């Protein structure tokens, strides 16, 4: 289909080409979007932005960063939108070195003085764990929006700096800035990571009571997680019963996690069943349920659940992680050995785990998914 468009659009302007590229990215058809983009007779910054944003929105963060580099190499000048999309991709990948390179490019090119770019930098540094840099960018901003405060609060909360996140929230209130629903997601996450049950409950109650903000599903997920981790499982169930919206996988997953930690088998079973009702094809939930039955010695239920997995033909989505070495992002999927250095990596992991085992730690060697064949 995309190739048929080339002849029809060869004489049209860049806006028409960009619109088509954008349309394909919105529907996740990135292969066709790339094909159109590569055959564009003329490109401009919005064309590049459509591709970079498309990759980022479809979870192809490494491709988004690569497209930004290609844009610079080919002599095109990025604008604020380009930079923001690229920094967002860096934040999701956790590629601090590349993010710093983009920051340096922004500084040299003179396009980084706006609050728009500043917020993207705070978000990127926060997600990458470079919290001093995030604070430095924040302090340098001449104009701070609610997004600026939210990025800093969420970055601190994400990495367990709970007290600092709460302190920034109180600092925000002192300036007269009004928090929004995103602010309280960060505040509640800070309480979850810091085990601040009483503070978290008070913040949760204040969202609607003091600020007139309608409670969102993310807020419920945070408070259920907080109560579940603290072993307050009955309180967590009451929150779920009184929710103004239908509980989703995050809410039930948070309750399930608390139940498993504190040994409430019956409630864990109920939570897992609710998760399966929401997404019957999710293999992770079925495997989790089978493991729970195994831990309880319910072997008949284990057999039934595993039979259900086979009959439904469901597949577990493999986990994925990234690591950045010398400005190159390496992707690793669970049980995937396609990386050219897979053998060396597995040998190094086995050595580290054996060393850890010698120190007295229990290690499941099967978790490595490494073998010599």
Task: State residue 192's pLDDT score.
Answer: 97
Assign 309 a pLDDT band (cuts: 50, 70, 90).
confident
- The candidate with the shortest Cα–Cα distance to 322, out of 297, 309, 308, 339, is 339
pLDDT over 70 at 12, yes or no:
no
**What's the CATH fold of domain 1-131?**
1.25.40
If one counts every other C-beta atom within 10 angstroms of the C-beta of residue 174, the result is 8
- The candidate with the shortest Cα–Cα distance to 216, out of 241, 185, 188, is 185
| Separation CA 194–CA 158 (nearest Å) | 11
Domain range summary for the chain, segments of one domain joined by +: 1-131
| Separation CA 285–CA 280 (nearest Å) | 8
Sign, Cα dihedral of 231, 234, 235, 239: positive
Task: State residue 113's pLDDT score.
Answer: 66
Which of helix, strand or coil describes residue 230?
coil
Assign 280 a pLDDT band (cuts: 50, 70, 90).
confident
Quote the tokens at residue 50.
């459509």
pLDDT over 70 at 313, yes or no:
no
Question: What digits encode the pLDDT tens for the residues 95-116?
Answer: 898 899 999 988 888 776 688 8
DSSP, res 318: P
Task: State residue 31's pLDDT score.
Answer: 95
CA distances from 373 to 202, 343, 344, 346, 357 (A): 56, 10, 13, 12, 24
| DSSP assignments along 109-127, one per residue | HT---SHHHHHHHHHHHHH
DSSP, res 141: -
pLDDT over 50 at 11, yes or no:
no
pTM for the structure as a whole: 0.78
């Amino acid at each position: 289909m995309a190739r048929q468009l080339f002849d029809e659009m060869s004489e049209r302007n860049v806006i028409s080409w960009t619109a088509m590229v954008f349309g394909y990215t919105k529907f996740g058809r990135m292969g066709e979007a790339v094909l159109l983009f590569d055959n564009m007779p003329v490109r401009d910054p919005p064309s590049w932005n459509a591709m970079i944003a498309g990759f980022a929105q479809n979870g192809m963060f490494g491709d988004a960063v690569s497209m930004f580099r290609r844009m610079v190499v080919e002599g095109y000048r990025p604008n604020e939108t380009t930079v923001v999309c690229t920094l967002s991709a860096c934040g999701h990948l956790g590629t601090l070195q590349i993010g710093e390179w983009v920051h340096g490019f922004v500084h040299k090119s003179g396009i980084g003085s706006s609050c728009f770019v500043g917020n993207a930098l705070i978000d990127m540094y926060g997600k990458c764990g470079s919290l001093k840099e995030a604070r430095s960018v924040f302090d340098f901003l001449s104009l701070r929006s609610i997004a600026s405060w939210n990025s800093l609060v969420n970055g601190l909360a994400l990495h367990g700096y709970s007290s600092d996140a709460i302190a920034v929230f109180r600092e925000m209130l002192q300036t007269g800035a009004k928090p929004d629903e995103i602010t309280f997601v960060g505040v509640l996450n800070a309480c979850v990571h810091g085990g601040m049950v009483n503070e978290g409950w008070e913040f949760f109650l204040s969202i609607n009571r003091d600020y007139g903000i309608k409670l969102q599903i993310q807020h419920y997920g945070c408070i259920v997680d907080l109560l579940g981790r603290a072993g307050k499982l009955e309180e967590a169930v009451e929150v779920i019963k009184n929710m103004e919206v239908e509980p989703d996988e995050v809410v039930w997953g948070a309750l399930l996690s608390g139940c498993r930690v504190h040994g409430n088998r019956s409630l864990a079973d109920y939570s897992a069943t609710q998760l399966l009702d929401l997404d019957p094809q999710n293999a992770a939930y079925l495997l989790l349920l089978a493991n729970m039955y195994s831990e309880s010695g319910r072997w008949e239920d284990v057999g039934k659940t595993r039979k259900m997995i086979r009959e439904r033909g469901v597949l577990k989505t493999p986990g994925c992680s990234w690591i950045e070495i010398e400005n190159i992002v390496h992707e690793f999927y669970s049980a995937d050995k396609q990386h050219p250095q897979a053998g060396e990596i597995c040998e190094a992991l086995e050595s580290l785990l054996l060393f850890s085992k010698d120190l007295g730690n229990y290690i499941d060697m099967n978790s490595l998914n490494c073998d010599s064949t």
